[in-house]
Amino acid sequence: MQKPIPTCLMRGGTSRGSFFRGTDLPDDPDLRDKVLLAVMGSPHHLQIDGLGGGHPLTSKVGIVSPGKQAACDLEFLFVQLQPDSSNVDTRPNCGNMLAAVVPFALECGMVESQGDESTYRVLTLNTGMQCDITVQTPGGRISYEGDACIDGVPGNSAPILINFLDTAGSVCDGLLPTGSVKDKIDGIDVTCIDNGMPMVMFKAQDVGCTGYESASDLNANTGVKERIEKLRLACGHAMGLGDVADKNYPKMTLVAPPQNNGALTTRCFIPHVCHESVGVLGAVTIATACILPGSITEGIAVIPKGQRKQLSIEHPSGELSVEMEVDPDDPIKVIRAALLRTARLIMRGEVMIPANILQGE
């Protein structure tokens, strides 16, 4: 016996995952998590018995519901699963999966289009973050066709603009959870920061790298990965996150001078696998560190002048541009962060899970 559950398999930015209406999943969080593990096929490194793709970027779930607050149109719960563990994490955000929330809601009839272009306010339940998401809806239907392209995804698509409204201290206690813009932890100078994603940033050379290695080369470098994990565990305590051994954060980011006229070169571990590109909220957090005087990026990052800054964050697959606007009275206070993403509906239908899971067996 198997139980069907309606789902849409969607790409959001450089991630991919199954999207569900909140009402189609169990209310009990423990039972819901068991269902999602079965959906993904975890724990198994290939996720051969589920929809997961054997990689953290393709082992994600989005749960979408109509907004309960008057100011919000939609509510979004992001769920990060892992191929080789039973860990189900709903604490951090995911800006890439966020790009698929409004397209999914339109596909399901959860919201109605507003004309040729539609904007909706989305509340991310993981951290309480709000954002305005604008999508293309010509003829009253979501469009996936357009000229927008993002590095890390082949082809072109319709643009999706995400304007983040409040991202500081998404998981940690504030923008700078250690209280300092730069610390020396486990013998390495780091900037611990959370402007949408808890991150630890450090110079690539301090762990024996250039910062220009490919993701596959870094993933194959056991010594570097062990050194980064040791640092991550120490930073977790310093950031007030406790023991992060089984957590998906903080993300670890190697930084180096830009190579292609950008602001900064990055290599991000998420947290144990090097990202083929960079996470959306990770890029927002990195861009924020770039404009903080005294951060680890000082003397490395190339920062444009002006109150509104366009920062190109370079990564293994290209770059991701973040538009930052700072408070004219406080040059280290970010009042706006926006960026461009794309998304696409890949498949809609029903995912089958063993019925005994829902029967509590």
Q: pLDDT tens digit string along 210-240? A: 999 999 999 999 999 999 999 999 999 999 9
Sign of CA dihedral 231, 232, 238, 242: negative
Q: At which residue do the structure tokens 């509104």 appear?
A: 308
The confidence score (pLDDT) of residue 308 equals 85
Q: What phi and psi, each to the nearest 5 degrees, are found at residue 89?
A: -115, 120
The Cα–Cα gap between 285 and 265 comes to 14
The whole-model pTM stands at 0.82
In words, the CATH class of domain 2-159+343-358 is alpha beta
Residue 226 has, within 13 A of its CA and on its CB side, a CA count of: 3
Amino acid symbol at 218: L
Helix (H, G, I), strand (E, B) or coil at 138: helix
Q: Which H or E element spans position 132?
A: strand 129-136
The confidence score (pLDDT) of residue 76 equals 98
CB 325 within 8 A of CB 308: yes
Burial of 302 (0-12, 13-18, 19+ CB in 10 A): middle
Sign of CA dihedral 213, 216, 220, 224: positive
Question: In 3D, which of 171, 107, 77, 95 has the Cα closest to residue 133?
Answer: 95
CB 60 within 8 A of CB 71: no
The confidence score (pLDDT) of residue 99 equals 97
Indicate if 183-339 has the same CATH topology as 2-159+343-358.
yes
The confidence score (pLDDT) of residue 305 equals 86
Task: Please state the separation of Cα 115 from the chain's center in Å.
Answer: 29
Domain residue limits, the chain: 2-159+343-358, 183-339
SS3 readout for 85-97? CCCEECCCCCHHH
Looking at the chain, how many residues does it have?
Answer: 361
**H-assigned helices in 12-159:** 29-40, 95-98, 101-108
Burial of 48 (0-12, 13-18, 19+ CB in 10 A): exposed
End-to-end CA distance of the chain: 13
The Cα–Cα gap between 359 and 164 comes to 40
The Cα–Cα gap between 267 and 214 comes to 9
The confidence score (pLDDT) of residue 44 equals 97
CB 20 within 8 A of CB 33: no
The confidence score (pLDDT) of residue 278 equals 94
Question: In 3D, which of 53, 49, 58 has the Cα closest to residue 2?
Answer: 49
The confidence score (pLDDT) of residue 306 equals 83
Question: In 3D, which of 56, 106, 63, 107 has the Cα closest to residue 85?
Answer: 56
The confidence score (pLDDT) of residue 361 equals 59
The confidence score (pLDDT) of residue 253 equals 98
CB 181 within 8 A of CB 191: yes
Low-confidence stretches of the chain (pLDDT < 50) are: none
The residues, any chain, with a CB within 8 Å of residue 257's CB and separated by 6 or more, are: 211, 264, 265, 300, 302
Q: At which residue do the structure tokens 């969080």 appear?
A: 29
Q: Characterise 350 by phi-psi region: left (phi > 0), alpha (psi -120 to 50), beta (else).
A: beta
In words, the CATH class of domain 183-339 is alpha beta
The Cα–Cα gap between 318 and 295 comes to 24
